A and B are shown apart, each in its own frame.
Chain A
Amino acid sequence: MKKEVKNILNDLYSLDKTFKDQEEGLVKIIEKLLDNKPKVVIDEKFVSELKFELSKQEKIGDADTINKSYLFPQRIYYAVAGAAMVAVLFIAFNFFPSGNFNPIEQQGDILKLSLSPKISNLSGSAFGSLGDLAIEDSQNLTMGEEAVPRASGGGGIGSTAMLASDAAVSEIATDDMISTKMIAPYPRYSFRYVYEGELVLNSDELDVYRKVKNLSAAKAFAGQFTKADLGLLDLGSFENTMLQNISLVEDRDFGYWVNVNLGEGVISINQNWERWRDTDLEKCQDEKCFEAQRLSLEDVPSDASLIKIANSFMRERGIDIGDFGEPEIDKRWFENYERTENKTNAYIPETISVIYPTLVDNQSVYDQSGGLSGVRVNVNIKYNKVSGLSSLSVNDYEKSQYKAVTDIEKVLAVLEQGGLNRYFDEKAEKIDILLGEPKQELVQYWDYRDGVSQELLVPALIFPILEKPEGVNFYQNNIVIPLIDEMLQSRGTGVVEPVIMRTMEEPLMIDQVLEE
């Protein structure tokens, strides 16, 4: 019997014991009613807006006039070398208002920036060919920084793996192994991703989004800032300036370091390390003391508590959480914990992330490994406080239609290998991984052209992994298949040479150079 049902029954019994005679019928009714229980959901946007409005109240009773905002400290005072100049920067990043696209408003001596979300339409295929994205994706995933763990450990995107139990026999390549031997001469396995449901592809064209950088804010701030007489040099002598970064530091215990990147339109918050002192840990002199400071599973708050802490922080800082998807906890640490045989040695992280998924045109944004992309709020579980936040950004996009893939067989072929250009060893033993019903969302790609990297959001099918293989460090939760036809056309053969570790060439000594 459900606890809620039991509580209700006990309430009734305490009022009138004759209810007990009707228990069987009551349970049926209660459960039926519980299943249809309506929810009263408070609008998070309303909650944050009301808090923001309350924070602007200027007078409390007889107290002195106050003008504070929870969003950011609103005034920064510069007083250098006795100069009379005080530069007042009023930063009001209004990330998600509606209907106001004017980037800059001059209000007396206060510069107010209004960076509003905006999606504008461009003609078809306006971002050029996207075929290269698939190839770059392949290179990034097989040769990039994470290539080794992915290719050899099966931790996510790679489709080939060794089981964790085999890892101990790996050996390091030496000079004479170059070009001839792989890093992992041990039994290998290929993951084969299997989707048994129905797949429907009924769009001929789909929207691709490109993030727009708005530099007017950075230039406008620079214009104000260069007027300041800092004494040491004339900032106004520099031309075509942009104020790239602003850092605000809270000088208080458990204070924060706020970094505003005006060029990219991104804000991050970190703990001000000097004021987040762990005095208990600092006093430790021996292993026993350090061990005593280690966190255990019992120290980890519930998901609901973590989300409440993160929500509260977002509200206090005036960040409108109503414009993100439902927050989710990053559980990768727990998957590691579950895999650890000796739990006493298992690592419990001090911070756990709550992810607020980015929504663009009501679609969630994923990274290429199938993880949700968005604002990441880190909660320090030792203090139950938010220790940082990353990727809070202005979401302005241009969108353009591209030809969508309609060939189901083509999609299934890519899907079987885990995505575009994943290493898939046909000869290796296969491990089948079942996938659930997909949903259509967006996946983030980085398009590097002419020395500039731009963020693209490509429509994709997100297939949830129903059960992860045992004995492998497998982090991926979803398989991502982009739905743009030319990306799948350019995906290559699907077989990419595995990573080969090379030793560094011996550097030439200076006298050798001179001799040559």
Chain B
Amino acid sequence: MTLKEIEIIKSCQKGDLERFGELYDDYIDKIYNFIYYKTSHRETAEDLTSKTFFKAVKNIQSFGKKEKYFAAWLFQIARNTVIDHYRSSKKTANIEDFWDIDSGEDLLVDLENKEKILLVKKYLAEIKSEKRDIVIMRIWQGMSYREISEILGKNEGSVKVMFSRTIKEMKKNLPIEVILLILIF
């Protein structure tokens, strides 16, 4: 976490809400993209992004009691918000994001991305949610291992190992074209 972030959070905790805007500017794109890749639907992503930031503003006073990194805290809120959304709408305990929903259901997906999403869906659905998040952050969001490790609250080495194991796990069952599609997509 940068010194600037620490300073801004302290200001926010003292009541200077205006400074939250600086954090918002730094994270809005990352959070929105993360949520979009977990929902594949623009309106849903916007709704859940809004909820994430409102929760962050409301609870920023409590930040720092357990968490070390603001990014980790914010992404955890985003992750939980997505899980809450799917669990409340599907009434199913084991759904964590869009990728867990059965392809046989009528999926709420942006039309322009539907074909490609469906192409990779069955493969991403095979891996656990946490591993899926690493793939999303590393490949689709272009985050460094260090960033991911801060967000997940793990050390960098563990994240690298998890990432490589996940790719190997996917490679076992997939043709090379599909892995590439996932990596680029």
Contacts of B171 in A (CB 8 A): 15-16
| Given contact pairs A15-B168, A42-B33, A46-B46, A54 touches B21 in the complex (Cβ within 8 A) | yes
| Given contact pairs A42-B28, A70-B18, A316-B25, A8 touches B183 in the complex (Cβ within 8 A) | yes
* Residues of chain A from 2 to 24 with CB closer than 8 A to chain B in the complex: 8, 11-12, 14-16, 19, 22
- Mask, B1-37, CB within 8 Å of A = 1, is 0000000000011110110110011001100110011
| Given contact pairs A15-B164, A16-B168, A38-B113, A55 touches B53 in the complex (Cβ within 8 A) | no
18 inter-chain pairs at a CB distance below 8 angstroms, sorted by A residue, are A8-B180, A14-B164, A15-B164, A29-B177, A38-B113, A40-B33, A42-B33, A43-B42, A47-B28, A47-B32, A50-B50, A60-B12, A60-B15, A60-B17, A63-B14, A63-B17, A68-B17, A315-B21
**Residues of A within 8 A of B (CB-CB), count:** 37
- A118 and B23 alpha carbons, distance in the complex (Å): 35
Contacts of A47 in B (CB 8 A): 28, 32
| Given contact pairs A50-B53, A70-B18, A34 touches B61 in the complex (Cβ within 8 A) | no
Q: Is the CB of A315 within 8 A of B17?
A: no
Contacts of A120 in B (CB 8 A): none
Q: Is the CB of A38 within 8 A of B25?
A: no
Cβ-based interface call for B49 (8 A): yes
- A61 and B61 alpha carbons, distance in the complex (Å): 5
Q: Is the CB of B185 within 8 A of A316?
A: no
Contacts of A413 in B (CB 8 A): none
Contacts of A50 in B (CB 8 A): 24, 28, 46, 49-50, 53
Q: Is the CB of B180 within 8 A of A30?
A: yes
| Given contact pairs A37-B185, A42-B28, A315-B25, A63 touches B49 in the complex (Cβ within 8 A) | no
- Mask, A29-59, CB within 8 Å of B = 1, is 1100110011010110011001101110100
Cβ-based interface call for B125 (8 A): no
Please list the residues of chain B having a beta carbon within 8 angstroms of any beta carbon in chain A: 12-15, 17-18, 20-21, 24-25, 28-29, 32-33, 36-37, 42, 46, 49-50, 53-54, 57-62, 112-113, 116, 164, 167-168, 171, 176-177, 179-181, 183-185
- A12 and B163 alpha carbons, distance in the complex (Å): 11
Q: Is the CB of A38 within 8 A of B116?
A: yes
Interface of B is mostly: helix
- A42 and B116 alpha carbons, distance in the complex (Å): 19
Interface of A is mostly: helix
Q: Is the CB of A57 within 8 A of B57?
A: yes
Q: Is the CB of B15 within 8 A of A63?
A: yes
Q: Is the CB of B181 within 8 A of A33?
A: yes
Cβ-based interface call for A516 (8 A): no
Q: Is the CB of A312 within 8 A of B184?
A: no
Contacts of B61 in A (CB 8 A): 60-63
Contacts of A54 in B (CB 8 A): 20-21, 24, 53-54, 57
Contacts of B28 in A (CB 8 A): 42, 47, 50-51
Of B57, B58, B179, B184, chain A has the most CB atoms within 10 Å of the CB of: B184
- A16 and B164 alpha carbons, distance in the complex (Å): 9
Output the nearest chain A residue to B112 by Cβ-Cβ distance.
A38
B11 to chain A, nearest CB (A): 11
A457 to chain B, nearest CB (A): 32
- A208 and B61 alpha carbons, distance in the complex (Å): 55
Q: Is the CB of B180 within 8 A of A29?
A: yes
Contacts of A26 in B (CB 8 A): 176, 180
* Residues of chain A from 48 to 87 with CB closer than 8 A to chain B in the complex: 50-51, 53-55, 57, 60-64, 66, 68, 70
